[in-house]
């Protein structure tokens, strides 16, 4: 049977776009302060999950909501299950948008909104791939289950809970990365440097706040300081103006009584690619570190400025490492928080690490390096080890064959620093929906997905799902 997958997608383009627009309107960033037993990650992720499952109910699929942690949309029968792993949660919008991030806008044949490329757009494309197979009544020998998560951008608590109640698929992919395929992912762990909330210098660091998530490059930073000695607000302002100009940055410094408020604007980016952003937190720390702070405040600023600033590979911390297949370890300082009223003063370091490195080893090495700053070091419990599915695995071979037939381009393997739900399965990969040469706007302001790529990926997903499950 020859199926014109492109024709089938063309016939459903309007419906696909309509469903995507409505899904993007559901704000779904995690809000722990609004979490309840019924909404474990806040109301937004729950609402987006229910909305996505509603499409499955509307179209006659079997659906299940697992206590608003996650859910699935299922079709077909068989002893094996093909899993497609999507997620409805998004990172916070942050600053710098030209449009409302939760009111989708289409311009220049692109749809702009938070979640358009990560991961609601690709999720809709994969869903319509399965929808086409169902509507054509194609014969299958396996079950197909679209697993819909709500906490991919944070702690993956959704999948922990889901797999306590549901069986794992046998193999599958996540439409949450790049074509032609991602069959390898670096390890992923977050370490924290902790500091005492003390000031012992002529200058006082009243507060320092930068970053929204550990897996985002901070796009802005704010500090409040109290001056002392011979340095005036005017002197500090002149020095700050020169610093911003020398580093091609923007910001503001305002004196209010005996306090000075300082803001610095950088550029947000995905934490897996820290070199694609401009870390506002470390830039501001580097400026302040030249002044006479003391105590825990000095340790905080010195650690950020001396051991983290402008180092994306952990070289200054003594943990740099490179693997021939997986490439270099990368590091992102995602959260920098200091204040006398805080329970914890810390810097988070999110590492994407290749084979040959361990999280415990990094804790030991970094603790020795930063000992002079007074920092203590620990790690988050979650530690995703490096993941790799060989090229000769039938899953990888089939997915690459589909890509090649529909694009005319040669497929090849890739290893990334980003962590996707593809690694949930021993035989799991990430597959699209970004095409080679695509502008990656995940976790950035003005996130978008090309409509041509939305429809093109749906064609590939439909064919791939059918080949893997027929």
- pLDDT tens, position by position, 123-143: 999 999 999 999 999 999 999
pLDDT of 127 reads: 98
C-beta of residue 9 within 8 angstroms of C-beta of residue 50? no
Confidence tier at 258 by pLDDT (50, 70, 90): confident
Count of helix runs (H) and strand runs (E) in the chain: 11, 24
Q: In this structure, what token pair is assigned to residue 251?
A: 């910001």
Length in residues, the chain: 470
* DSSP string computed for 142-211: SEEEEEEES-TTTT-HHHHHHHHHSPPPSEEEESSEESS-B-EE-EEEEEEEEE-S---SSSEEEEEEE-
- pLDDT tens per residue across span 443-467: 899 999 999 999 999 999 999 999 9
State the average pLDDT for the chain.
96
Percent of residues, the chain, with pLDDT higher than 90? 92
Question: Where is 378: in which H helix or E strand?
Answer: strand 376-384
Nearest to 136 by CA among 75, 88, 189, 81: 75
- pLDDT tens per residue across span 276-318: 999 999 999 999 999 999 999 999 999 999 999 999 999 999 9
- pLDDT tens per residue across span 46-57: 999 999 999 999
Nearest to 403 by CA among 178, 185, 184, 121: 178
Nearest to 111 by CA among 451, 452, 444, 453: 451
Q: Give residue for tokens 């960033």.
A: 29
| Residue 390, number of CB atoms within 10 A of its CB | 12
Percent of residues, the chain, with pLDDT higher than 70? 100
Question: Strand 330-339 and strand 204-210: pairing?
Answer: antiparallel
Q: Which residues sit opposite 178 in a β-bridge? A: 434
Residue 1 has pLDDT above 80, yes or no: no
Q: In this structure, what token pair is assigned to residue 314?
A: 């952990």
Q: Give residue for tokens 């390096």.
A: 369
pLDDT of 419 reads: 82
Question: Strand 220-226 and strand 204-210: pairing?
Answer: antiparallel
Residue 229 has pLDDT above 80, yes or no: no
Question: Where is 339: in which H helix or E strand?
Answer: strand 330-339
C-beta of residue 189 within 8 angstroms of C-beta of residue 359? yes
CA distances (Å), 261 to each of 223, 287, 315, in order? Answer: 6, 14, 32
C-beta of residue 104 within 8 angstroms of C-beta of residue 116? yes
Confidence tier at 230 by pLDDT (50, 70, 90): confident
How many Å separate Cα 128 from the centre of its chain? 24
311 counts as catalytic? no
Torsion of CA 457, 458, 461, 463, to 10 degrees: -110
Kindly list the strands in the beta sheet with 62-66, ordered across the sheet, starting from the edge strand earlier in the chain: 62-66, 70-75, 143-149, 81-87, 171-174, 428-430
Does domain 5-185+386-469 bear CATH number 3.40.630.10?
A: yes
Alpha carbon distance 252, 12 (integer Å): 49
- Selected residue with higher pLDDT from 26 and 418: 26
- pLDDT tens per residue across span 391-439: 999 999 999 999 999 999 999 999 988 789 999 999 999 999 999 999 9
Q: CA geometry: angle at 415 spanning 414 and 418, to 5°? A: 125
Q: E strands, 4-127, where? A: 62-66, 70-75, 81-87, 105-107, 110-112
Radius of gyration over every alpha carbon of the chain, rounded to an integer in angstroms:
24
89 counts as catalytic? yes
Mean pLDDT across 346-355: 96
Mean pLDDT across 78-88: 98
Residue 382 has pLDDT above 90, yes or no: no
CA distances (Å), 63 to each of 54, 73, 223, in order? Answer: 8, 5, 48
Q: For residue 185, say if its preceding peptide bond is cis, omega within 30 degrees of 0.
A: no
Mean pLDDT across 327-336: 97
- Per the residue annotation, which of 89, 209, 440, 453 is the catalytic one? 89
- Do the domains 188-384 and 5-185+386-469 match in fold? no
Q: Which CATH architecture has domain 188-384?
A: 2-Layer Sandwich (3.30)
Q: For residue 260, say if its preceding peptide bond is cis, omega within 30 degrees of 0.
A: no
Alpha carbon distance 404, 396 (integer Å): 12
Domain residues of the chain, as ranges? 5-185+386-469, 188-384
- pLDDT tens per residue across span 179-226: 999 999 999 999 999 999 999 989 999 999 999 999 999 999 999 999
- Per the residue annotation, which of 19, 29, 118, 152 is the catalytic one? 152
């Amino acid at each position: 049977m020859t199926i014109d997958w492109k024709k089938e997608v063309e016939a459903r383009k309007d419906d696909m776009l309509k469903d995507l627009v409505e899904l993007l309107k559901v704000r779904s960033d995690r809000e722990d302060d609004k979490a309840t037993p019924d909404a474990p990650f806040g109301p937004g992720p729950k609402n987006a999950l229910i909305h996505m499952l509603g499409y499955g109910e509307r179209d006659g699929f079997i659906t299940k909501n697992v206590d608003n942690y996650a859910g699935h949309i299922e079709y077909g029968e068989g002893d094996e299950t093909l899993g497609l792993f999507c997620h409805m949660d998004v990172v916070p919008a942050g600053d710098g948008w030209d449009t409302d991030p939760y009111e989708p806008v289409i311009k220049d044949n692109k749809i702009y909104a938070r979640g358009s490329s990560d991961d609601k757009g690709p999720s809709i494309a994969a869903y319509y791939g399965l929808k086409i197979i169902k509507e054509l009544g194609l014969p299958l020998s396996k079950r197909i289950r679209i697993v819909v998560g709500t906490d991919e951008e944070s702690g993956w608590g959704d999948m922990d809970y889901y797999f306590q109640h549901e069986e794992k698929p046998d193999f599958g992919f996540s439409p949450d990365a790049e074509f032609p395929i991602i069959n390898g992912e670096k390890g992923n762990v977050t370490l924290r440097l902790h500091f005492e909330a003390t000031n012992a210098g002529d200058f006082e660091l009243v507060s320092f706040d930068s970053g929204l998530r550990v897996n985002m490059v901070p796009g802005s930073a704010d500090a409040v300081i109290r001056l002392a000695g011979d340095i005036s607000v005017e002197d500090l302002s002149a020095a700050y103006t020169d610093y911003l100009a020398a580093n091609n940055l923007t910001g503001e410094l305002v004196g209010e009584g005996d306090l000075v408020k300082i803001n610095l604007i950088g550029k947000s980016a995905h934490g897996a690619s820290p070199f694609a952003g401009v870390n506002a937190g470390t830039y501001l720390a580097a400026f302040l570190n030249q002044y006479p702070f003391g105590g825990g405040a000095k340790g905080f600023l010195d650690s950020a400025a001396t051991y983290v600033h402008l180092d994306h590979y952990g070289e200054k911390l003594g943990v740099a490492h490179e693997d021939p297949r997986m490439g270099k370890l990368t590091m992102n300082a995602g959260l920098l928080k200091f204040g006398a009223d805080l329970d914890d003063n810390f810097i988070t370091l999110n590492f994407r690490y290749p084979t040959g490195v361990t999280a415990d080893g990094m804790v030991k090495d970094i603790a020795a390096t930063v000992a002079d700053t007074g920092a203590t070091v620990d790690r988050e419990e979650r530690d995703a080890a490096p993941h790799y599915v060989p090229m000769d695995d039938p899953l990888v071979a089939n997915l690459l064959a589909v890509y090649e037939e529909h694009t005319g381009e040669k497929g090849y393997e890739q290893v990334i620093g980003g962590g996707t739900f593809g690694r949930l399965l021993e035989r799991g990969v990430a597959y699209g929906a970004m095409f080679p040469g695509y502008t990656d706007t995940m976790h950035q302001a003005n996130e978008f997905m090309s409509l041509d790529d939305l429809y093109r990926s749906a064609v590939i997903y439909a064919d791939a799902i059918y080949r893997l499950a027929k």
